[in-house]
Chains A and B, each alone.
Chain A
Amino acid sequence: MAVCVAVIGKDNSPLYIGGIGNDPNADNELSRQWLVHTALDALEERLSTTNNSNTNSSTNTARADLRDLYLGLLYSTDTHKIYGYVTNTRIKLVLVTSSTSPGSNIRDAEVRTALRRLHALYADAICNPFHLPGDQITSLKFDKQVKSLMLNNV
């Protein structure tokens, strides 16, 4: 099941980190943030390699436009699996699933759908005219929707 979802801005600052954990204490939050933060390494690496291959051959530029926003499994630890998704405006979406809890066998397609839905939710959230791009997302509705996404979908 998904244990954490994060939205990270194009400057790599966290815009939203939401998690459903069993215990809400600070250690849990800390390890969750470490996990998401270190996932950025893998994300950045993926992005830079796709960019390089695009610049190398001009034929790839067309493919770049159609590039799948879903990056797949970024990396896995003994306890967690971390999936990445990058929007065209370089907003990074990260989804962390627990590989120890029951029902940990999540299919890739499910994660893809969940991240697509998260993308849609994010787009809705920043459509709010009172939201400033680059600010943290504080919308309660967004939070609620993301939490339900995590509980229901994945």
Chain B
Amino acid sequence: MTAQPSDSTEFPLEITLKPLALIGLSGLDTINNAIHKTIWDAFSNNRRPDRASVQFKLLHNTFEFPVIKPKRNSYEWYIPKGILKKNWIPKRVALIPAVVVIFYDMEWNDPQWNEKIIECASRVQSIRAAVEGHATRVAVVVVQSGLSPPPSEYMLGAERAQVLCSACEIQSKSLFVLPHSDHLMGYIVRLENAFYDIAQNYYHHETKNIKQHRDHLNKTTHQYLFVRHQFKLGFLNELKQDLSTAHKHYMHAYNNLLETRQVDTNIHEIRTVAGYINYKLCKLLFALNLARDAIAQLKSHIDRYKNRIGPTELLFEHYAWIARQYSAFGELFDEAISLGLPAIQSQHPGFYYQHAAQFTVMRRQAMRSVCCEALQYPPPPDPMEGIVEFYGQRPWRPGRLSADPHDPQKEQAAVLALQYNERVFNHSAMIISFLSSAITQFKTFHSPRMRKQLVVEMANEYYYCADYGKALTLLTHMLWDYRREKWWFLASHVLNRALQCAYLSAKIQDYIQLSIEALSKHIQVPNNDKDRIFRNIMSVLNLNIPAPEPDLPVSSQSRALELWQLAIEKEPLTIVIDMVNISSFLEVKTKFKQAKYRMDDTIEVELFVRLTFNTTLLAKAALLTIASKVETIEIPILDSGMTNVKLEGGKVRRFLCQFKTNPHDIGSDMSIKNVSFILDHERRRKIIMNFKVEDSKSLEPTVHPELLHFILSPKSDYEFDCIVPLNTTSITSRECRLSIEIENAVPALQGEWFPTTFTVVNNEESSVYDLAIALSLLSSPDNPNPDSVTELSYAHGESQPQPLKFQVGTVDEASAYTNLFYLKTNRTATATVQLRVSYKIDFQEMPKLECVKDFTTKITVIKPFEVTTNFVDMGFMPITKCFVDDPFIVMPEIKILSPWDLLILDTELETVECLKYGDDKKPSSCIRNLQVAERNVASDAICVQARYKPKDPPTRVGLYNIMWRRESSTSGPCVMSSSALSGIAIEECPISIEVNYPEVVELMTSVPLKCRLIGRTDVPIRLSLTVEGTDTYIFSGYKKFSVTVPPKDKFELCYNILPLVTGNTVPPRLKAVVLGDNTRQEIVTEIFEKHFPRNIFVMPKYK
């Protein structure tokens, strides 16, 4: 906050500064002694807020204490001449220390101890003499190197300290030792706190002294003293940092002051002092964290003094005083906030600054009404000269208490002097400074609109003090916001003032822009005189000076005219105005006729222009700027073939722009970027009005686009209000006139390279060139990721990266191009193939026109066959498990699904690790070179046996590979399809059995039944065997006996059996019971069951 020095309302520094206890430091030679310098620096520098509230003053030998006034014993005949003496506070804060500290260098074991102690005592004595009369405390600090231990642990030290105290006549608690070697800062802080304690003690003593006076006072003559003493008490308590007591005394002072009789001669003094006390009160309340009380105090303070106006010829002083109360409070509030006080939107310092500004405005008004005649400073003697002893007293009658002016002439001259000073005072600067403080606060406390209003007021202030440039800058910024929120009344107010500023500062660019906006239907201008504004625009265009705005300050008009004469024929000769950001008298809507254009179409843009101001506007030229990805072009708008565009007020004109696309625009968007109207009257000056079309749609129409159709708009205006602008269009390629034919034998079979023939026929009117065909696979819902399972190729068996490209070259009209591609897929789903045909064609107006078209074809893929497996034993009986080293037969069955006849060329079984072929070499396929048709089933059989029992049951016995091809394609390569055959459980048996018996026997014929038991383990196995005979046979051999099957060896049994009946018979069967370890009984029983024949067919005897 800076106010002019001539402003007498400003608070003196001693009132605004925080009082700090004053402590004088003596005996420090900071210039010659480095140690003393560090001590002094430690005391005085870098004082952080956490340190004690004291102020140090270096006392030199020459320092003189203020002379003490003779003590008054009785107040009976004493009449105070004023309320507060101006020099009292400075004395307390700068001249009379609470404590004087004498620094003295001395070690306890100093050899010249006696001399030293005498010198020290004499220094103390001289200080005592200097402060004679004041109650200032004295303390001694002995500066030591810190090598000797402290006196408490050091007999000599303690003794000598005692001696020193008595020599200097001080108490032992006023003697301090300061070792300066280490930890100096710590000692200093402790010393400081000790001094602070002494100082507080001193101030306490002082307050007691003042309180004693009170009994001598009486209300009739000593009313001022009641105020003065309470103020002093308050201040001393503040020095003591006892804030709440200080507040109490200030409050007494304030209330006592209110009771003082007020007359015109002392009003200024009372007001001034009241202001100071109020300031102190508020400051203390903020410091005590009682912000609400502070606010209430200010409010009541203002209320009390609002009507104490004083003499009317000095009315401005009253307003100046109120303004100062507010601004000072604002500063206090702001300070409190910076120290952590929370503030809210409805209560913050900004309001007080705003009030300060408002009262300064009132001050100026008062000045205008009462100071009209103060044209000259009064002749000498200057009534303002003279020293005033008390705050707020008049220099021409200091210390006078009587209510009547004792010298009317002098009084008159003084009033004139004050009025003259007020007249030359720059109120605007003060208002602006208050406003700028307020603006900052309102910005901080989320009040953007309040801030705007204050900025406008500030701009007005700049206008009043003829700083039109600054005013204009501020106003144009604010205009933007009011316009955006559509507060047209406020916008008009701002705009009219801005227009005045622009005229007065002859800023052509701003002047024209503001004038154009003033013609908008939303803006109200003074006297509704828009014609004048329009004429002004035309004048500037013709390099003539425009007519002045109404209500201009007379003093600035001639200056403005000079400025215009200088500026009118100079730059800026071309005035570019961004019309979208302002509200103006021209409205433009643009639309592409279609949202999509093909390359060979003519693009048409419709342009509607409405001139809302009632005049005829001739534009020299109008341009439409269109931008695409590759270029930006400007197209002149033609008005019936002419570039001159004539617009009439209140009417809507429609213009049509036609143009062709650029070949590079294909596939991109084209947008309208700008419409500009150029005003030009054959002179050098041009006005270009740009209607920029923003992508971000910053300027939304007033009405929602979906509601545009509801607006009633005259038909003759092309229903302007209902037009929904269309500012972008997309350019697509020209329509393709090539056709394609696809030939193939669908469905394709899984795994085969499936050929497809395509034929492209040129149906264009001329030959095409650079024809290229690109094949790629499209994903579809049932085949989402076709690239992973499907391959495309130019030839059999060679997979090619996609897309598959065919560079064809030129194809004449009505001719065709044929080629084929192969597709192989491993998934039975529909494959979708896209054929993108692109080519170029020449037209007269558009050479090298590119056309693209996508064709698709769908190819269904099915399985050629299905493979299932059966397992049978060597007797072709189905089995569900097999035994190690026990051969069995795998029988794959191939069921043909293909609608096309197939030729199975070969098959093979790749067994898994734990199986091997039953024969030593790989058996040849049973179904090689077999021709099959749909629904045929081809059965294969392969004998295998298990080599060992794997840990986990095998999931499959192996891969079954089928080599096949379509029967129709005799030459084509064969396809190998593999399918996994399901697994079979493998068991391990301790013995294996081979049984030899005939399948068919004759009745009554003895046949041998040989049985061989082979031990498969490393230990012999003992079995108990029984033969289960049947009625249909008789047999010979052991019926029941035990055998031992040796390990890795065999045991042979031999029976003869003789059938008794014909037909299917059950032969006698061997059963075995494992002796000993019978855990493997089950498996042995099973293998016996399996190997012994269940039935034998018996033929009748051939006779």
Contacts and interface: CB of A to CB of B under 8 A. Distances in A.
Nearest to B701: A134
Interface residues of A, number: 22
Interface centre among A29, A38, A40, A45 (most CB of B within 10 A): A38
Interface in A104-132: 130, 132
Interface string A28-53: 01100110011011101100000000
B703 A38 contact: no
A98 to B, nearest CB: 18
B487 A13 contact: yes
A132 B703 contact: yes
B956 interface: no
B490 interface: yes
A42 B490 contact: no
Contacts of A29: 489
B493 interface: yes
A72 B1033 CA distance: 117
A75 B702 CA distance: 30
B664 interface: no
Contacts of A30: 489-490, 493
B453 A37 contact: yes
A42 B703 CA distance: 27
A114 B446 CA distance: 28
Interface centre among B448, B487, B711 (most CB of A within 10 A): B487
A65 interface: no
B309 to A, nearest CB: 17
Contact of A132 (B448, B453, B493, B710): B710
B486 A14 contact: yes
A42 B345 contact: yes
B450 interface: yes
A41 B450 contact: yes
A27 to B, nearest CB: 10
B707 interface: yes
Contacts of A132: 703, 707, 710-711
B485 interface: yes
A42 B346 contact: yes
B449 interface: yes
A41 B447 contact: yes
Interface string B482-502: 000111011001000000000
Contacts of A130: 712
Contacts of B490: 30, 33-34, 37
A68 interface: no
B702 A135 contact: yes
A133 B711 CA distance: 11
B946 to A, nearest CB: 68
Contacts of B446: 41, 44-45
A23 interface: no
Interface residues of B, number: 21
B702 A14 contact: no
B449 A38 contact: yes
Given A34-B490, A38-B449, A42-B346, A135 B485 contact: no
Contacts of B447: 38, 41-42, 45
A125 to B, nearest CB: 17
Given A11-B485, A33-B489, A37-B453, A135 B448 contact: no
A12 interface: yes
Interface in A34-86: 34, 37-38, 40-42, 44-45, 75
A14 B450 CA distance: 16
B275 to A, nearest CB: 20
Given A30-B493, A33-B490, A132-B707, A38 B702 contact: no
Nearest to B712: A130
A134 B706 CA distance: 13
Given A33-B490, A42-B346, A134 B453 contact: no
Interface centre among B449, B453, B704, B710 (most CB of A within 10 A): B449
Contact of B453 (A11, A34, A135): A34
Contacts of B450: 38, 41
Nearest to A76: B346
Interface string B444-482: 001111100100000000000000000000000000000
B345 A45 contact: yes
Interface centre among A11, A41, A75, A135 (most CB of B within 10 A): A41
B702 A134 contact: yes
Nearest to A129: B710
B487 A33 contact: yes
Nearest to B488: A14
A13 B711 contact: no
Nearest to A44: B446
Interface string B703-747: 110010011100000000000000000000000000000000000
Given A37-B453, A38-B449, A41-B446, A135 B489 contact: no
A17 B493 CA distance: 16
Nearest to A49: B345
Given A34-B453, A75-B346, A134 B704 contact: yes
Contacts of B486: 11, 13-14
A29 B345 CA distance: 25
Given A41-B449, A45-B446, A14 B487 contact: yes
Interface string A130-144: 101111000000000
A41 B449 CA distance: 6
A34 B446 CA distance: 17
A2 B142 CA distance: 77
Nearest to A39: B449
A14 B346 CA distance: 23
Nearest to B490: A33
A13 B486 CA distance: 5
Nearest to A40: B449
Interface string B685-710: 00000000000000000111001001
Contacts of A134: 702-704
B521 to A, nearest CB: 12
B698 to A, nearest CB: 13
B703 A12 contact: no
A40 B486 CA distance: 14
B418 to A, nearest CB: 28
A34 B345 CA distance: 17
A74 to B, nearest CB: 8
A133 B485 CA distance: 16
Contacts of B703: 132-135
B445 to A, nearest CB: 9
A34 B453 CA distance: 7
Nearest to A36: B487
Contacts of B711: 132
Contacts of B489: 14, 17, 29-30, 33
B1019 to A, nearest CB: 78
Contacts of A11: 485-486
A130 B713 CA distance: 12
Contacts of A37: 449, 453, 487, 490
Nearest to B347: A75
A16 to B, nearest CB: 12
A14 B453 CA distance: 16
A133 B345 contact: no
A135 B721 CA distance: 13
B1052 to A, nearest CB: 90
Contacts of A45: 345, 446-447
A60 to B, nearest CB: 21
Contacts of B702: 134-135
B1046 to A, nearest CB: 86
Interface of A: 11-14, 17, 29-30, 33-34, 37-38, 40-42, 44-45, 75, 130, 132-135
5 contacts: A11-B486, A34-B490, A41-B448, A132-B711, A134-B704
Closest 3 pairs between A and B when the two form their complex, measured CB to CB: A13-B486, A41-B447, A38-B450
Given A33-B490, A38-B449, A130-B712, 15 more contacts: A29-B489, A30-B493, A33-B489, A37-B453, A37-B487, A37-B490, A41-B449, A42-B345, A45-B345, A45-B447, A132-B707, A132-B710, A133-B703, A133-B704, A133-B707
